[in-house]
Amino acid sequence: MSKLPSSRHLPQPSRLRPPGSAMKRLGSDSAITSPEKRSRHSGDADDTGIMSRPQHPGGTRGGRGSLSRSVSMANLNSGVTRNRGMAKRNMANSRIGASTLNLTGRPSNITAASANLVRQGAGAVSRRPGANITNRVNNTQDTDTGPGGDAVTKAKKKRAPWDLKGRLQDMEELVKCSTVERENLLAKFNDYDSRIQSLEEEKQNLNQNLQQSHSTTQANQEQIDALTAKLNEEVRQRSNERQELERNIEELQSKKSSLERRIKMLEADLSSREDELAGLKATVSNLTSVSSGLEAQLSSTKLLLNDRNKRVADLEAETSTQASTITILEKKLLEGETFRRKLHNQVLELKGNIRVFCRVRPLIGEEIKNNGDSSDIHHINFLDERTLELCKGGDVNSSTMSGLKGRGNGHLEFTYDKVFTPCATQTEVFEEISQLVQSALDGYNVCVFAYGQTGSGKTFTMEGCPDSEELEGVITRTVRHVFTSMKELKDKGWTYTVEASFLEIYNETIRDLLVSSKEAKNLTYDIKLVDNKKNDTYVTNLKIVPVLDETQVHQLLRMAQQQRAVAATNMNEHSSRSHSVFRLKLVGENCRTSESCEGTLNLVDLAGSERLKESGSEGARLTETQNINRSLSNLGNVIMALAQKQGHIPYRNSKLTHLLQNSLGGNSKTLMFVNVSPVDLCYSETLNSLRFATKVNQCHIGTAIKQVKK
């Protein structure tokens, strides 16, 4: 956008004075425009600068002087007018030029041109007005043509100095010409004036235009400023945006680089995946071939499946038939179970309701040394599973004992239901009595007791070594067998409750082994009949513990052992001198058959038998021995009475027989272990025990009766 000139460059109205005013000033300065002034300044040629001739003294001279002055004035007027006309023309020209230039948008040139013209015009007048007038007069005289051309031509003819008239005529003609010229000039002046006025108007218009342009320029400037500010703001925003964009570019570049890295990784991954894919494709092709094979197999399998489904349908039909058969068979099984129990009982009856097992323990420890470092037992021969032979050189009389067979020479044979050699294991021993345990579950009273001299192996047989499973005794194995059988019988509808008690009889006094001596301090334990008509007995105040599993029973056994240890200063002696009775009461119910049963299992470790003569006991020991022998002898008597079916069975003669009344009578199955020591020195006690066992073995107690729960 081109910058418009400021107002100060435009021509100032004061400088462009109207021609009238310039002329006025010119007139006033030169003092020649008005006749008054001309007359007033007629002698002041110096003021005007016109070279006037020196006046001659006298009138003529004065006349000539005034004429010259008139001519000079006319010339002057003419020159001034001409000069002023030139000036005006110049000014008009300059104004025209200025307006033209102004119209073309270059007013500065106008101002300069008009100023120059004014200066030139003014200068032309002001510098040498007199000279100009003179020249003009002279020139006019020489060249002017016009209305007075002839007169001038005539005037050109040099008049004689005396021809004043002619000269006056010339002058008059000249004045006339000047007047005409002046009028012409005035017309021109007026013409110029009107032109100036029009130019003034034009100038005013131009000024208005200029002002409008100025205001437009200002508006434009404001707009420009606003636009500039906007532009700056825009530039700032663009700069911010650019910075933002640069940051974005940086971020994008970093992202790009990270993406490039990721692309590389992905490319690597892709290539590995491609490899994997290739492998998978190979696998897929393999699998496809396998699949086609499998499909073929599947179709054949489907065919097979159809056949099988058919077969399944057949089998289901068969199964339903079999299910009904199973129901029938289960019924038969239950009947069979009942029958088995009967048969089992009959077998035991055939075996005898009281049976005797003989067990000879091995030599142990010092006994082997004393036996010449040999475990061979010299005085006992095992003839078969049920017979052993006792022999001692010189003891011929023994063979004559009643009921005993022998080969003579001190050889005595003893036959029992079973003879266990020293090599017999605890397991083998228990297998033989497990059927009795089964009888207890079937609802019979069972009594297993161990009889024998001290140290013959009674406790080993009944309790065993609790720390070794292999050496577990009858009690532990019985408990396990009971709970195992209970589980098996559960499938046949039987559920059982088990109660345990454990007591000892020492010097004919009952002691509860399942309570501490502190707890049992003020308690008395008496044996009483449950029902006077029957032989069921119970012990008052005795602790009966319901047991749910084998572990619980083992805890009771350990507690009983501790009680026996606390009760004695010498445990072995105390335990040897008392009878211990472990009792399990088994109550069963069958929900299917509505059967019920109640059996009692007594496991008795008797006190060691001892012959008074041979023991040489005295004092308390003697009393103990007497009590033991009395109870053991009474046990024999009861058994004998039962065998002889006597009317009175002396159960009450000892606590032991009284307690075991129901388990020894006709309503029970009894098994007696006769434990034998292998030591030679124990021969007499062994013989005594074997004789006692023989007596028992010869007894037929009667038929055991199944106990039905009341």
Ligand X SMILES: Nc1ncnc2c1ncn2[C@@H]1O[C@H](COP(=O)(O)OP(=O)(O)OP(=O)(O)O)[C@@H](O)[C@H]1O
Contact range with ligand X by CB under 6 A, out of 81-89, 272-280, 288-296, 454-462: 454-462
Q: Which of 118, 135, 134 is nearest to 25 (CA)?
A: 118
Residue 684 C-beta: closest distance to ligand X, Å: 16
Which is closer to ligand X, CB of 153 or CB of 572? 572
Residue 343 C-beta: closest distance to ligand X, Å: 32
Which is closer to ligand X, CB of 445 or CB of 576? 576
* 120 annotated to a ligand binding site: no
- Beta bridge pairs of residue 168: none
* Residue 464 lies near ligand X (rule: CB under 6 A): no
* 453 annotated to a ligand binding site: yes
Identified binder of ligand X from the candidate list 406, 410, 457, 665, rule CB under 6 A? 457
Contact range with ligand X by CB under 6 A, out of 188-196, 304-312, 356-364, 542-550: 356-364
Residue 410 C-beta: closest distance to ligand X, Å: 25
Contact range with ligand X by CB under 6 A, out of 83-91, 142-150, 275-283, 452-460: 452-460
CB-facing half-sphere around the CA of 139: CA atoms within 13 A: 12
* 458 annotated to a ligand binding site: yes
Which is closer to ligand X, CB of 361 or CB of 392? 361
* 707 annotated to a ligand binding site: no
Restricted to residues 521-580, the positions that interact with ligand X (CB under 6 A) are 572, 575-576
Residue 452 C-beta: closest distance to ligand X, Å: 5
Q: Which of 68, 86, 84 is nearest to 171 (CA)?
A: 68
* 454 annotated to a ligand binding site: yes
The CB density around residue 115, as the number of other CB atoms within 10 Å, is: 16
Residue 654 C-beta: closest distance to ligand X, Å: 17
Number of residues this chain uses to bind ligand X (CB under 6 A): 16
Which is closer to ligand X, CB of 452 or CB of 636? 452
Residue 665 C-beta: closest distance to ligand X, Å: 26
CA distance 311 to 297: 20
Restricted to residues 642-701, the positions that interact with ligand X (CB under 6 A) are 675
Q: Please, which residues have CB within 8 angstroms of residue 637's CB and are 6 or more apart in sequence?
A: 650, 653
Q: Please, which residues have CB within 8 angstroms of residue 582's CB and are 6 or more apart in sequence?
A: 475, 500, 501, 502, 557, 560, 602, 603, 604
Which is closer to ligand X, CB of 171 or CB of 358? 358
- The Cα-based distances of 21 to 15, 28, 82, 84, 231 in angstroms read 11, 10, 17, 12, 52
Residue 460 C-beta: closest distance to ligand X, Å: 3
Identified binder of ligand X from the candidate list 444, 449, 451, 460, rule CB under 6 A? 460
Burial 183-204 (b: 16+ CB within 10 A, else e): eebeebbeebbebbeebbebbe
H helical segments located in 362-521: 366-370, 426-441, 458-462, 474-490
Which is closer to ligand X, CB of 464 or CB of 665? 464
Which is closer to ligand X, CB of 81 or CB of 453? 453
CA distance 176 to 169: 10
What is the sign of the dihedral through the CA atoms of 121, 125, 128 and 134? positive
Identified binder of ligand X from the candidate list 11, 65, 148, 455, rule CB under 6 A? 455
* Residue 608 lies near ligand X (rule: CB under 6 A): yes
- The Cα-based distances of 160 to 55, 75, 167, 624 in angstroms read 20, 22, 8, 222
Tokens of 334: 């239950």
H helical segments located in 144-163: 149-156
Restricted to residues 359-398, the positions that interact with ligand X (CB under 6 A) are 361-362, 364
Residue 616 C-beta: closest distance to ligand X, Å: 17
The rounded Cα 404 to chain-centroid distance in angstroms is 89
Identified binder of ligand X from the candidate list 48, 178, 456, 602, rule CB under 6 A? 456
Identified binder of ligand X from the candidate list 41, 411, 458, 564, rule CB under 6 A? 458
- Beta bridge pairs of residue 502: 582
Q: Exposed, middle or buried by CB within 10 Å (0-12, 13-18, 19+), for 225?
A: exposed
Q: Which of 475, 549, 564 is nearest to 515 (CA)?
A: 564
Identified binder of ligand X from the candidate list 94, 438, 454, 537, rule CB under 6 A? 454
Residue 505 and residue 581 in contact, taking contact as beta carbons nearer than 8 Å: yes
Identified binder of ligand X from the candidate list 452, 588, 599, 678, rule CB under 6 A? 452
* 372 annotated to a ligand binding site: no
Residue 512 C-beta: closest distance to ligand X, Å: 20
Q: Which of 668, 689, 670, 641 is nearest to 355 (CA)?
A: 670
The rounded Cα 136 to chain-centroid distance in angstroms is 124
Residue 478 C-beta: closest distance to ligand X, Å: 17
Which is closer to ligand X, CB of 140 or CB of 675? 675
Kindly report the backbone phi and psi dihedral angles of residue 513, in degrees, each rounded to the nearest multiple of 5, phi listed first: -90, -5
What is the sign of the dihedral through the CA atoms of 344, 350, 356 and 361? negative
Contact range with ligand X by CB under 6 A, out of 170-178, 205-213, 347-355, 451-459: 451-459
Which is closer to ligand X, CB of 602 or CB of 675? 675
Residue 429 C-beta: closest distance to ligand X, Å: 8
Which is closer to ligand X, CB of 430 or CB of 651? 430
Restricted to residues 244-303, the positions that interact with ligand X (CB under 6 A) are none
Q: Which residues bind ligand X (CB under 6 A)?
A: 361-362, 364, 452, 454-460, 572, 575-576, 608, 675
Which residue numbers belong to the known binding site?
452-459
Which residue numbers belong to the known binding site for ATP?
452-459
